[in-house]
Amino acid sequence: MAYDDDNIFAKILRDEIPCDKVHETEHALAFRDINPQTPVHVLVIPRGRYESMDDFSTGASDAEIADFIRAVGEVARMMGVVDDGYRILANHGRDGHQEVPHLHIHIFGGKNLGRMIKPVDK
Ligand code: DGP
């Protein structure tokens, strides 16, 4: 599927809509989620036009991947959640309930997050 240049995170990257920025690097941008699920809820996105981990993992350069992953770790340190713990999560596609078609890693923290995934009916 072609990348949608009108998705909300593409607009944030182009400064067409505002965000509560917490960190930026050459290849990544981090900002607070508009609808936080936990006391700390930050999204880290690559600057490149990648829909999800699928095309990012195949199409991004080593420099983009390294910078992006390092940015995730740096944001967790900046948010002060390393000692108590945090969770990272990236949704892909329909079953993953991905809403915004631009790769984003959620960083959740600031409270006990419970177990990873609720059991669901098969
Ligand atoms: P996902 O289901 O993984 O695609 O989650 C998308 C997240 O993006 C969701 O937690 C809400 C957040 N979000 C959606 N629109 C905006 C926006 O305009 N600004 C910010 N900061 N976050 C947004």
The enclosing domain of 16 has a CATH number of: 3.30.428.10
What letter represents residue 101's amino acid?
Answer: P
DSSP-derived secondary structure letter, 108: E
For the Cβ of 108 lying below 6 angstroms from any atom of ligand 1, the answer is no
Domain membership of residue 89 as a residue range? 8-109
For the Cβ of 7 lying below 6 angstroms from any atom of ligand 1, the answer is no
| Pocket test residue of 20, 21, 34, 106 for ligand 1, highest count of atoms within 8 A of CB | 34
Q: 82 C-alpha to center of ligand 1: Å?
A: 23
- Displacement of CA 30 from its chain's centroid (Å): 8
The token pair that represents 84 in the structure block:
């108590």
The answer to whether residue 34 is domain-embedded is yes
Half-sphere exposure at residue 71, Cβ-oriented, CA atoms within 13 angstroms: 26
Could you give the number of structural domains in the chain? 1
Is the whole-model pTM more than 0.85? yes
Q: Three-class SS of residue 57?
A: helix
Is 106 catalytic? The answer is no
Query: In this model, does residue 110 exceed pLDDT 90?
Result: yes
Nearest to 76 by CA among 22, 115, 37, 114: 22
Query: In this model, does residue 122 exceed pLDDT 70?
Result: no
The answer to whether residue 118 is domain-embedded is no
pLDDT for 16-50, tens place per residue?
A: 999 999 999 999 999 999 999 999 999 999 999 99
